[in-house]
Structure 1
Amino acid sequence: MKAVTVPGFGGPEVLRAAETPDPLPGPGEVRVRVRAAGVQPVDLAVREGFSPPGARIEPPFVLGNEFAGVVDRLGPGSHGWQVGDEVLGFRLLNCHAEFVTVDTGQLVAKPAAMPWEQAGSLSASGQTAHMALRLLGVGPGDTVLVHGASGGVGTVAVQLARAWGATVIGTAGERNHAYLRGLGALPVAYGEGLVERVRAVAPQGVDAAFDAAGRGALEASVELVADRARIGTVVDYPGAERLGVRGLRAERTAARLAELVGLWEAGGLRLEVAEAFPLERAADAHRMVGTGHVRGKVVLVP
């Protein structure tokens, strides 16, 4: 099969679309023919040498931690899925490829109406946003500040917070303000003067802040939110430790992913795919994500 491999840590130029052995599903696993797989900022960090907590990643390896596709082979003792089932799911690494093997407990059914590119983009960003807002206790009556609101994680976070009864203020560049209004957020421009702009649109104050952007977001948040236990980040863990706010992490689960899929089916979740690249252009996908200005997600399509 063809896969996006990292023969050695480095910039986007190290990525190779190479032929690798077809994987075989182990006990309790299935193999999925991948139709689309999202590219996350964490993929760029792993390419440069980052290993998630509890893992040690050494080259060579295949990137990717979310996907959508069609079950094409069953492993021994697998249950719940049949060859031909359309699914979306997650695992650590190996998703940026024509085939991926995965534990059956890390899959959910793909709605027939959900486009493949959207299905392949949902798990990582969607679960990150869901986890973060739950840990911050976002609910009815809250005013929530979402930094990086037009990105993959931010797009879902805005809509989840709105669905859970919160007022949402979202930071983004001016070109994405109409997009954020369409998601139900009050947009503000990031950068110098952010605190004053947020106070102008939220004179009642801000109850919680979620940082999916970095770039000084936590420093602004501590000026706006009284309770530091309700400020969290998924990008600036050193800043969280320095400022006494929360570095947010939690396990991904099929139940959380299924809830997000249900919200999409009910018309309550819009997913934005900025661009789809073939595996051979994975380096271009990484460069685009690396700009930090993608609206929604970038995906690879084998």
Structure 2
Amino acid sequence: MSRRVTYSQLGGPDVLTISEVSEPHAGEGEVRVRVKFAGINPFDSKVFSGASTSTPQNVTFPSGNGNDFAGVVDEIGEGVTQWVVGDEVLGGKGFSAQADYVVVPAAKLVRKPAALSWEQAGGLDIAGRTAWASVESLSLTAADTVLVSAAAGGVGVIAAQLAKLKGAKVIGSASESNHEFLRSLGIHPVTYGEGMVERILEISPEGITAALDNNGRETVDAALALGALAGRINSIADYSAQQEYGTTGVGAAGATPDDLGALAALVAAGTVQVPIESVFPIDQVSTAYAKLVEGHSRGKIVLAL
């Protein structure tokens, strides 16, 4: 038997429980991974709370939970040649990752660089692929000034750094407690909320040319007011803006395992910082999500198995 986070009704973090289930096994073309760390994401809580509009509401119960994981290959399916037992890997599998074992297609795994911490690897998949794809969608150059909202959060902190690597001037919205941290990354911090447009103009009197929205309509409206064209505003937090304004909504699906591997190498090299806000044991999964829902986290929250 093995442990798996499950839920059998929609609701808050308290619906999550640890279930004893039969160990899964790798089939043809698959690999089983013994999970060491698993990430948590805002999307997970939207699904188990019933708030998500991008997934069917008739979730089959009991449902697994979580996408991001890192661990060690411990079982190889027939036909798999690129992995061997003992390989250290990371990746993602929806509604499955918060478990002792996860079985995934061999082609979906990414090799964990030795210098990448297990905690960082365990929380990298969704946030990393989302940040990578959203930045690539804007074709940023040194001529750009880009606004990144929630710039200290799981997606935002990676996106802001990737945008800076493109040569762009990056302005990041965040709570005041995260401003010094953003400055240490070379990002110009700004407090969100009323008056944000005016505060951004103090940093960049000419306005902005692009935006990466990880927060919602406030960022989209501010970006438009600051001169960014709708087609150069990518929002993963306000998909209705696509119909209303013509913004884009490129997310994790826009990045490949190779892209995730490239990002993992950047993090391992110290070129991109991925802070770990908190690490919770798996039996405190409800507490971990309660902290996530509170907001204002710096970087990622992960579970240790």
Give the TM bin, normalised by the shorter chain. over 0.9
Q: Which amino acid aligns with 2:71?
A: G
Seen in structure 2, the aligned counterparts of structure 1 residues 146 and 284 have a Cα distance that, compared at 3 Å, is same
CA distance in 1, matches of 2:65, 2:106: 20
The answer to whether 1:124 aligns with 2:126 is yes
From 99, 102, 106, give the equivalent of 1:100: 102
1:139 corresponds in structure 2 to: 141
Counterpart of 2:278, as a letter, is E
> In structure 2, which of residues 86, 89, 105 is the aligned counterpart of residue 87 of structure 1?
89
Deviation at 1:248, TM superposition (A): 2.3
Deviates more, 1:46-55 or 1:198-207: 46-55
Q: 2:15 & 2:255 partners in 1: Cα distance? A: 28
User: Runs of 5+ in structure 1 lacking a partner?
Assistant: none
User: Which stretch of structure 1 is more off in the superposition, 154-163 or 136-145?
Assistant: 136-145
**Contact 1:180–1:186 (CA<8 Å) still a contact in 2?**
yes
Change (3 A) 1:229 1:201: same
Aligned to 1:184: 186
5 Å-filtered alignment, 1:1-302, equals 1-49=2-50, 50=52, 52=54, 57-214=59-216, 216-249=218-251, 250-302=253-305
2:4 is paired with a residue of what secondary structure? strand
Contact 1:208 1:231 in 2 (8 A): yes
Corresponding residue SS for 1:246: coil
Q: Is the 8 A contact 1:241 1:247 kept in 2?
A: no
Long gaps (5+) in structure 2: none
- Higher deviation after alignment, 263-272 or 8-17: 263-272
Query: For structure 1, which segment, 88-97 or 43-52, has the greater mean C-alpha deviation from structure 2 after superposition?
Result: 43-52
CA distance in 2 between counterparts of 1:51 and 1:82 reads: 39
CA contact (8 A) 1:51 1:57 kept: no
Q: TM-score, normalised by structure 1?
A: 0.95
1:215 to partner: Cα distance = 5.8
Q: Secondary structure at the match of 1:100?
A: strand
Conserved? CA contact 2:217–2:241, under 8 Å: no
1:23-60 alpha-carbon deviations (Å, 9 max, x no partner)? 11121110001011110000101112337469974221
| Range with greater deviation from structure 2 (26-35 or 211-220) | 211-220
How high is the sequence identity, in percent, across the aligned residues? 43
Distance 1:146 1:215, change over 3 A: same
Q: Is the contact made by 1:218 and 1:240 (CA closer than 8 Å) also made in structure 2?
A: no
SS at match of 1:221: helix
Q: CA deviation at 1:292?
A: 1.9
Q: Say whether the 8 Å CA contact 1:36–1:300 is kept in structure 2.
A: yes
Distance 2:117 2:178 in 1: 23
**In 2, Cα distance between equivalents of 1:27 and 1:57:** 27
Q: TM-score, normalised by structure 2?
A: 0.95
Q: Structure 1 residue 182: deviation in Å?
A: 1.1
Cα pair 2:138 2:210 within 8 Å, conserved: yes
Contact kept, 8 Å, 1:232 with 1:240, in 2: the verdict is: no
